[in-house]
Amino acid sequence: MAFKLAYSSLRWQTPDLEQVLGLLKETGWDGWEIRQSLDWLGSAKRVKSISDRIGVPVAVVCGTGLTIDGNHEMKERNKRRIDFAADVEADTFMFMGAARPYGRPSTEDEIKTLADLSDELAVYASQYNLDVCYHIHTTTTVDSREEWERLMRLMQKAQLCIDVSHSAFWGYDPAQSIHDFKDRLVYVHLQDYKAYRFVELGEGGLLDFSASMKALEEIGYDRWVTVCPSQSDRSDEEKMRLDRSYLRHLGY
C-alpha cells in the first residue's frame, strides 16, 4: 500500500508522550495525529525530537475552536498551530467547521464564510508548503451531503479530509465520496459507530471499511490514513492493538 497508517491522540488528555508514542510504535502504527494544546505539548522542537527518536512522525496537527465570526483570536490561535505543524514537519493541518446553528440549517452565507475562512488558513499555511484540510463532521456548519458538496464548490484553496463515518452518517457511500473528491483528498479518518458511541473498527457495522480502503487504492491515494480511538472503556494500548489488528485483517 502507498499510504501510511496513523493513530489520533483525540482521547488522550494529558499524555506522557514518551510512553504513549512508544505504545504506538509497539502496536504497529506509522505516525500520529496531534490534538493536544500547545501548552501541554511544549515546543515543536521537543515534540519532533520525541517523535523522531521513537520513530512515529507527526502526520497531522489539528486546529482548535473554529468559529465563522472571523474573530482575531480564533484566527491567531489556529495560525500558531499552523506554525507548529510546519515546525514538526506534519503533512497537513486539519480543522473542522464551527458549531451548527441551533434549530436551523446553515445558510448559504454561513457556508460561504466557512469556505472563505478555510481558504484564508490555506493561504497562510502556503508559506510553509503545508496543506490545510477541512474535516467533514456532523453537527458542525456543514452537516449533510448537500452542504458538503456546496462547501467544496465554494472552497478554492483548502483541501479535504474525509472521515468515512461521517460520510456514512449522511447517507453518502464513503467509497463513492472518496472517488468523487479524489482531486481534493489529502487526509482520511477511520471510525466505527454503534449504539450512540464510537467503537473499535469492525465492531459497529457502520460501513464497509474494506471498500473504503480499496477506493483509496483505486484513486492512487498515497498520504495518511488515521484511526480515531473509540469511546470504549478499554485501555489506550488495547484500543491501539485492536484497531491495528483489524486493519491487518483487511490486508493493511
Render pLDDT for 99-109 as a digit per residue (tens, 0 to 9): 998 889 999 99
pLDDT at 2: 81
> What's the whole-number mean pLDDT along residues 120-149?
98
pLDDT at 109: 97
Q: What is the pLDDT of residues 168-222, one digit of tens each?
A: 999 999 999 999 999 999 999 999 999 999 999 999 999 999 999 999 999 999 9
Q: Distance (Å, rounded) from C-alpha 175 to C-alpha 208?
A: 9
pLDDT at residue 1 greater than cutoff 80: no
The grid coordinates listed for 57 are 512522525
pTM, whole model, 2 decimals?
0.97
Q: What is the pLDDT of residues 58-112, one digit of tens each?
A: 999 999 989 999 899 999 999 999 999 999 999 999 999 999 988 899 999 999 9
